[in-house]
Amino acid sequence: MRQLILASALAVLPLAAAAQDDPVSQAIEARQSFYTLLGANMGALSAMAKGDMEYDEELVARHAANIEALTQYFVPMHFIEGSSNAEAENTDALPAIWENRDDFEAKFAALGEAAAGASDAVRGGQGNIGPVLGQLGGACKACHDDYRD
């Protein structure tokens, strides 16, 4: 098993090295990593809200705190020229981002506003998660509708 893991790690090293030399690939990878983390935490909140995962007040607050922290990271800086889906592979970022940059950044800021206080708001019972998810989901949707393919 160790050999398989080592072989797998060694196999991706050339890809990682190539990505380091390509700012577009780096930018796409950085923003996709951000959204993967955001999605994992949103997914956990959703699972607890639906009852698919046992409600745990401390855990739900941690997931919400992660979202609060993540939204303080200025991910729009990773939407560099040449990294739209019209110019690069493996991205759903529409060219409209670069055509309407101020609106795109405002919508990202709105996600941060929606996340503010989420770690306190989800406490007190499973029923408190839904309204927080609604705010966060609305902010996500506002951006996805205009800027994601």
Domains of the chain: 2-147 (1.20.120.10)
pTM for the structure as a whole:
0.83
- The CA distance from 136 to 27, in Å, is 24
Predicted local distance difference test score (pLDDT) of residue 137: 97
Q: Which helix (H) or strand (E) holds 52?
A: none
71 vs 114: CA distance, rounded Å? 9
140 is known to lie in a ligand binding site:
yes
143 labelled ligand-binding? yes
Give the separation between CA 60 and CA 48, rounded to whole angstroms. 8
Q: What is the pLDDT of residue 21?
A: 84
Candidates 67, 66, 87, 71; CA nearest to 23 is 87
Residue 109: per-residue pLDDT: 98
pLDDT in tens, the chain (149 residues): 445 444 555 555 455 545 568 999 999 999 999 999 999 999 999 999 999 999 999 999 999 999 999 999 999 999 999 999 999 999 999 999 999 999 999 999 999 999 999 999 999 999 999 999 999 999 999 999 999 99
Angle (CA) 31-41-140 rounded to 5° is 60
